[in-house]
Homo-oligomer: A and B are copies of this chain.
Amino acid sequence: MAQNEQEASWSRVDEGRHDTTIEENWLFALRKERFRSRLSGLTHDFFVVRLADAVHAIAITPENEVLFVRQFRAGSGRDSLEIPGGLVDPNEDPMVAGPRELLEETGYAGDPPEYIGALWSNPSLVTSRTITLVIRNARRVAAPKLDHTEELTVEKHPAREVFDLIRKGRVDHALVVAGLLWWQASEEKFSRT
């Protein structure tokens, strides 16, 4: 997994002894964590949201359609058109979590996943990364299995129309857009070489 490996310019202070936890629940912990600049020696307490990594899957049918799920999102207060995905369980391999989320949310399964990439979801505040996978030959093999507050509808859109969905504002979740456009840029690079 490609990462920026150079040493960070700020480091934790006194092994976290000055850090505080403001809120902790089943989903995340909100903390203040103290770091010191290696350059200036200044310390600063940063807000940090400790949240699990997420994985999402670009599932492509034999008809070259991409699977989407539409669901309510409380941050935007709107329904959001997204690719299937969710949080990676503790110690779960994202390459396992991706197909699991796809099956739970849509009832679809396909070929073994291909790894596209991992991005920090919002590294100024949140510890979570989002991993993007591609799953080809996706076919409906079961009924979706949803939590009681998950209300999803499944949609299929032709792969060639994906950028139009973004450009027109129909797909407007930044993490979904990053994954979809990375995948499409990879395919174009590949088709050119």
Contact = CB atoms under 8 A, between A and B. Distances in A.
Interface of A: 1-4, 6, 8-10, 12, 22-23, 25, 27-28, 30, 33, 35, 37, 39-40, 42, 44, 46-49, 71-81, 117-128, 130, 148-149, 151, 163, 166-170, 172-175, 177-178, 181-182, 184-186, 189
Given A9-B151, A79-B6, A182-B181, A174 B119 contact: yes
Contacts of A2: 167-170, 172
Contacts of A124: 73-75, 80
A78 B4 contact: yes
Nearest to A70: B9
A81 B120 CA distance: 12
- Secondary structure call for the A interface: mixed
A178 B174 contact: yes
A181 to B, nearest CB: 4
